[in-house]
Structure 1
Amino acid sequence: MNFKQFFFGLFFLLSFASNAQSNTKEVLFTINNKPYYTDEFSRIYKKNLDLVKDDSQKDLNQYLQLFVGYKLKVNKANKLGLQNGPQYQNELKSYRTQLAKNYFNDTKITEELVAEGYNRLQKEIRASHILILVEENASPEDTLKAYKKIEDISKKALAGEDFENLAVQFSEDPSAKENKGDLGYFTAFRMVYPFENAAYTTQKGKVSKIIRTRFGYHILKINDIRANRGEITVAHIMILNPKAEETEKNAEKTINEIYKKVQQGEKFEDLAKQFSEDKSSSSKGGVLNRFGSGQLSSEEFENTAFSLEKAGDISKPFQSDFGWHIVKLIEKHPVKSIDEMKSELETKIGKDDRSKKITASLNEKLRKKYTYKRDAKQYGLISKLVTNDFYESKWSLPENAKEYTATLLTINAKKIDGKAFLDFIDKQQKAGIKVKPLSKLVDTLYDKFLDEQLTAYYDENLETEFPEFANVMDEYRDGLLLFDLMEKEIWDRAKTDTLGLKKFYDEHKMEHMWKKRVDVTITSSTNQDMIKKAQTLLKKNEKPEAIKDKLNVNNVINVMTNSGVFEEGNDALPKTMKFNLGVSDVFKEGEYYFVTKVDKILPEAVKTLDECKGKIVNDYQQYLEQRWVDDLKQEFTVKINSDVFESVKKELK
């Protein structure tokens, strides 16, 4: 996800917060005599009140200044003509399409589909399939040919022939030669809807009826049905797969040494903090975010994790595509309730073939909602223009198509001419509609055309029919302009203005300091005698690997080592470790004995620009923005209606 997607993902979320709106509407302030009203200010303040963490932004006086600054930037963007840019126009159109999806839903149908999807999610199905490819809009001859193929294979399968052998021999799925048609376990929303329907309506061990999807014809055999495993929380210790082949054995050796320590009773969490190379989880004792089947990139990891039965169970070391792991079960979570999953399921339905049911329901409602009328004379003239060439995708618009500009369809006050229907017919040739005779074909095409035009009319009038939609679009319109403006005036400048950035760094570099750092080898053990032996070896300048080779004998891991440059406070450093050169005395923390060998101490120091560039660029952007807003206040004339603002403050408080 890029920065712009993140910016508007958050903006999209905020824009759908619901809040009561004030019925009053007065001019709160003007910018170059352009009015901005109290209702917008109050609506946005209420909407964001619980979302901002900075209390200063909840202060109405401060919030007004932020709001005025926001509108100043939008005015500047318009002054620069950014609203006329083709990219801006395309993105605005794209966002409107996304927003409008919420208004093309059918609550009843959606709830039925949510219930169906949720019920199916209770089970995971393992199925094999055989596919005969045929395009969605294939000719009747090709379609029949493909159907006869799958019909013959289906008869063989139903007669008891081995399904795997049939898949290898006949399936046109490229993977069938290797997997023998086996698709593994899946659940609802993982396959196209007709395929899913067949999977969930066929008994275990049985072969399905022939089904048609956009890929072709299929038959399925249900190999197994099991309860959904839900989600799981685990901790793990990972040693990354090495890039060089010669060091692969070292990774395996290290994970086995750690596993021995676990078996010896040492705490999993402590070992994860010291040795796990998954830096996103090591500081948390190796704990990962909860996950379910198919949510990780490693089936091996998932299966091993789910095989653990009781909280506290620990796996043996195993290897995935990413590295070597040891997994500890923290908690198993059952499948979420339908209320908890409702929003997620609705999103999946919108992206699925199930949405066709919602579309059909919307079409029916719009036909009842609006007044529409077809001109019989114009329709009769157009009907005569369609020939049998349509079935072979060879029909073309008549040369005088532009003359058919008389009204064919009227929706409320909107008039649609015959040329629009002719263009629609032309495009529909690719859809492979084979309805006969021609008169029935034209009627079918007109029904589709009518639904398309009713939907377009509904879409065009969303701002008029739904004030909340209009509000969101206004905010998006401003937000898009603001993003483009900030990118042009602030963000890009902060990245490319090397002299300005260097000057800003010089002025603020004392705010970016390294803590004291240490180049150290840390040796740990739960055995005091062993740590003393390690101390002796460290004093002889033995290398960490040599120390482990000498002390980890008889298949027992007595000591572990960790080397590197660490900043004060790093989780890898023992909390009571002293920053003194040389080999330390033995000291104990919890159940562990430690000895350290410090080769170098790096004092507190100012970070170089490269070492803190990300933070400096961010701070520089904020600095430029504040100066820029001050300049905008000089460029534009802002007048605030103080009396109105005082009234708004009383209302909001």
Structure 2
Amino acid sequence: MKNQLLCLLISAIVSVTTVQAQTLFTYGKHVVEKDEFLKAFKKNNNGQKADQAAYRNYLDLYIRYKLKVQAAYDLRIDTLPSQRSELESFRNQVSGNYMYDEATLHMLVKEAEANSSKDIRLSHIYIPYTGNDTAEAFRLVTMAASQLKNGRSFEAVATELSRDPSVKVNKGDIGWISSFTLPYALEKIAYGTPLNQNSPVFRGRGAYHIFRPTAERPAAGTVQVAQILLEIPADADRKQTDSVSRFADSLYRELLNGADFGKLAYRHSADNSSYQNNGILPAFRPGTYAPEFEDQAFVLKQEDAISKPFQTSQGFHIIRRLKAAEMVAGSGQEISLPGILEKVKEDERGQLAHEAVIEKVKKLTGFRVLAFDPKAIEANTKLAMINGEPVMGMEYLQYKTGTGEGTEQFFKMKLLEEYRNRLEKYEPEFADQLKEFRDGNMLFEVMQRNVWEKASADEEGLKKFYAQHAGRYRWKENVKTVIFTGTDSATTYRFHQLITKDPAAWRSLTESMNGAIQADSGRFETDQLPVTYHQKPEKGMVTEPVRVANDLGFVFMYIIETLPGKDIRSFEEARGFVLNDYQEKLEEEWVGALRKQYPVTVNQSVLKSLNR
């Protein structure tokens, strides 16, 4: 009875072990698990149906891959300076993606896309303060909020209480804004406040703010203009202003009569940032410049349209519209803004995603604070534990002494240093990326040594291989021809007329074009020709010019001779094909040797279980 129970127990253990054992194949002393193979198959099968035949086909490719990479490791190719340098470069490039929390970043990008779909006309009450002395500013902003609540108009409150220097002119109306033109905290309030309602008081860095959105429109996108600025002195009287105005009108008439805008800007514009560049300003979105300037820029709808002279606090402007980039509709009702992810990372939003990573890293590393006492810091007491290792007070003193805020920043720095330096430990996906890159680089190097360079350098081997297999390398139907390529239609058609009259003089005629026409003579199989014609090629034919796809210009051919095919290519004519086949031969021989060096054993039961 005991023996029976013992046998049943052993059988059960063996059964469980068999179920848990997921080794798909071994090569030498190395093991490949089922999960590793399936992950590689899913990544590389290009939508192929996952059945037993597909698994078996891919298994052979994967075994060959593992054998070659192992050979590279055994040759210590991973220790080469070039390999280490490229791996480190890749690591630095990819690890940056992990410095932002993906979920937070996704949310911020979606919010930015939504905000970027519209522009908002905004009024603003701005009350600054200095340092921590907020008492007077708080009194004023509280008064402003109270007056608005009691029904006084935003314009009146802003005119009286806002400390924005431009409020005397704009009455608090700061014009149209778009996403990314205000600091993120202010943008969030502006876009989050309902139209024609007042926002709550917001305390920002150095000022209190109250906003009121007064209008909205579909996003205007970006516009680029050139300008001529005629400056008006700050103390100018009416006579001086009228004189500048008349001069602006005279320049405007010159422009209408065909004068060069760039030359006039160079001679007369007072804008030091643009007059030497034909008056051209960088492309901008709403909220970049003063409202009265932007209104004129965005109202011009046609490229090269020129505005009448208009006045701002700077002087009189004449602007010429250059180009505009409208917002492009994405999926659904979203807006796809080029570079929006990069903008989010560079913006204050990026810091939010960065802070979310720090919170995640605290959990991953088992971060604990042991002390924040400045006296303890001076005594070099352990301040915290990161990944079981102490962070010492003296390290902090070398970074910054003083406040608890400095201590917190120091710990954040140490946390991210630990996370980035050992990212493979904390992020399995990153570890997989790094291994895949390293193995791929090593595979390229070992293939270069054992196959590609070896074949290219073995001239005797290539000729011997060609002699043994010359029958493989036969011409299909082919032509001896000259292929002419021109970059523009006018030049190509003019040259085509010359060739049609005297095809035999094609060399001298091509030389006379001073590089405007390129000629390539040779023997080509008809299915290799750059264009397909309905008529069959005939000796002496000059084909009609045809525009080639991918903007390669215009092409036509002069057919010198037609050949039926079937004859064997010479070694030089077949060299490319011979080299490719010879490389395949060397690779098969090498893989055969590797199979002897690392004997392969496939677990058939696990293989059969792959598509269950």
Q: How high is the TM-score relative to the length of structure 1?
A: 0.49
Indicate yes or no: 2:297 matched with 1:200.
no
Shift of the alpha carbon at 1:27? 2.4
CA contact under 8 A between 2:25 and 2:600: conserved in structure 1?
Answer: yes
Indicate yes or no: 2:405 matched with 1:439.
no
1:182 is paired with a residue whose SS is: coil
Q: 1:450 aligns with which of 411, 414, 417?
A: 411
> Following superposition of structure 1 onto structure 2, how do residues 58-73 of structure 1 map, counting pairs within 5 Å?
59-73=54-68
Shift of the alpha carbon at 1:77? 1.5
Q: Write the letter of the residue equivalent to 1:111.
A: M
Partners of 2:302 and 2:30 in 1: CA distance: 58
Q: Which residue is equivalent to 2:386?
A: 411
Q: 1:371 aligns with which of 367, 371, 392?
A: 367
> Following superposition of structure 1 onto structure 2, how do residues 113-512 of structure 1 map, counting pairs within 5 Å?
113-117=109-113, 120=116, 123-127=220-224, 169=270, 171=272, 176-183=275-282, 185=283, 199-202=285-288, 206=292, 223-224=297-298, 335-337=329-331, 348-349=342-343, 352-353=346-347, 355-363=350-358, 366=361, 370-376=366-372, 380=375, 407-418=382-393, 420-421=395-396, 424=399, 439-440=402-403, 443=404, 445-459=406-420, 462-508=423-469, 510-511=472-473
Q: 1:630 aligns with which of 577, 592, 605?
A: 592
CA contact under 8 A between 2:480 and 2:522: conserved in structure 1?
Answer: yes
Partners of 2:386 and 2:268 in 1: CA distance: 53
CA separation of 1:61 and 1:582: change in aligned 2, threshold 3 A: closer
Deviations along 1:498-537, whole A, 9 cap, x unmatched? Answer: 3334444455554363632144899xxxxxxxxxxx99x9
Percent of residue pairs identical: 24
Shift of the alpha carbon at 1:457? 3.3
CA contact under 8 A between 1:129 and 1:181: conserved in structure 2?
Answer: yes
Q: Write the letter of the residue equivalent to 2:586.
A: L
CA contact under 8 A between 1:27 and 1:38: conserved in structure 2?
Answer: yes
Q: Which residue is equivalent to 1:315?
A: none
Q: Which residue is equivalent to 1:50?
A: 46
Partners of 2:327 and 2:340 in 1: CA distance: 22
Deviations along 1:571-625, whole A, 9 cap, x unmatched? Answer: 65642335256899xxxxxxxxxxx986544564655666565554444333322
Partners of 1:635 and 1:154 in 2: CA distance: 87
Shift of the alpha carbon at 1:467? 4.1
Shift of the alpha carbon at 1:468? 4.1
1:579 is paired with a residue whose SS is: coil
Q: Write the letter of the residue equivalent to 1:179.
A: N
CA separation of 1:451 and 1:620: change in aligned 2, threshold 3 A: farther
CA contact under 8 A between 2:384 and 2:391: conserved in structure 1?
Answer: yes
Deviations along 1:12-39, whole A, 9 cap, x unmatched? Answer: xxxxxxxxxxx95522332332322222
CA contact under 8 A between 1:410 and 1:416: conserved in structure 2?
Answer: yes
Deviations along 1:273-305, whole A, 9 cap, x unmatched? Answer: xxxxxxxxxxxxxxxxxxxxxxxxxxxxx98xx
CA contact under 8 A between 1:69 and 1:629: conserved in structure 2?
Answer: yes
Q: What is the root-mean-square deviation of aligned Cα atoms in Å?
A: 5.5
CA contact under 8 A between 1:31 and 1:636: conserved in structure 2?
Answer: yes
Q: Which residue is equivalent to 1:513?
A: 475
Q: Write the letter of the residue equivalent to 2:358.
A: N
1:200 is paired with a residue whose SS is: coil
Deviations along 1:167-224, whole A, 9 cap, x unmatched? Answer: 96564x5x651232422x46xxxxxxxxxxxx3324785459xxxxxxxxxxxx9833
Partners of 1:482 and 1:94 in 2: CA distance: 18
1:224 is paired with a residue whose SS is: helix
CA separation of 1:95 and 1:581: change in aligned 2, threshold 3 A: closer
CA contact under 8 A between 1:31 and 1:638: conserved in structure 2?
Answer: yes
Q: 1:86 aligns with which of 78, 81, 84?
A: 81
CA contact under 8 A between 1:206 and 1:222: conserved in structure 2?
Answer: yes
CA separation of 1:334 and 1:487: change in aligned 2, threshold 3 A: same
Q: 1:74 aligns with which of 69, 72, 91?
A: 69
Q: Which residue is equivalent to 2:186?
A: none
Q: Write the letter of the residue equivalent to 2:608.
A: K
CA contact under 8 A between 1:25 and 1:38: conserved in structure 2?
Answer: no
Q: Which residue is equivalent to 1:105?
A: 100
Partners of 1:227 and 1:25 in 2: CA distance: 70
Q: Write the letter of the residue equivalent to 1:372.
A: R
Shift of the alpha carbon at 1:373? 1.4
Q: 1:30 aligns with which of 15, 19, 26?
A: 26
Q: Which residue is equivalent to 1:576?
A: 535
Q: Which residue is equivalent to 1:314?
A: none
Q: Which residue is equivalent to 2:36?
A: 40
CA separation of 1:340 and 1:71: change in aligned 2, threshold 3 A: farther
Shift of the alpha carbon at 1:626? 1.9
Q: Write the letter of the residue equivalent to 2:42.
A: K
Q: Which residue is equivalent to 1:530?
A: none
2:221 is paired with a residue whose SS is: strand
CA contact under 8 A between 2:327 and 2:335: conserved in structure 1?
Answer: no
CA contact under 8 A between 1:117 and 1:345: conserved in structure 2?
Answer: no
Q: Write the letter of the residue equivalent to 2:279.
A: K
Q: Write the letter of the residue equivalent to 2:37.
A: F
Shift of the alpha carbon at 1:543? 7.8
CA contact under 8 A between 1:204 and 1:223: conserved in structure 2?
Answer: no
CA contact under 8 A between 2:378 and 2:394: conserved in structure 1?
Answer: no
Q: How many residues align?
A: 408
Partners of 1:371 and 1:640 in 2: CA distance: 45
1:439 is paired with a residue whose SS is: coil
CA contact under 8 A between 1:202 and 1:222: conserved in structure 2?
Answer: no
* Unaligned stretches of 5+ residues in structure 2: 1-18, 118-218, 249-263, 304-321, 485-495, 507-518, 544-556
Q: Write the letter of the residue equivalent to 1:79.
A: D
2:538 is paired with a residue whose SS is: coil
CA separation of 1:349 and 1:597: change in aligned 2, threshold 3 A: closer
Q: Write the letter of the residue equivalent to 1:224.
A: F
Partners of 1:487 and 1:154 in 2: CA distance: 72
Q: How high is the TM-score relative to the length of structure 2?
A: 0.52
CA contact under 8 A between 1:517 and 1:602: conserved in structure 2?
Answer: yes
CA contact under 8 A between 2:113 and 2:336: conserved in structure 1?
Answer: no
Shift of the alpha carbon at 1:80? 1.0
CA separation of 1:227 and 1:444: change in aligned 2, threshold 3 A: farther
Partners of 1:616 and 1:341 in 2: CA distance: 53
Shift of the alpha carbon at 1:67? 2.1
Partners of 1:598 and 1:202 in 2: CA distance: 61
Partners of 2:586 and 2:302 in 1: CA distance: 53
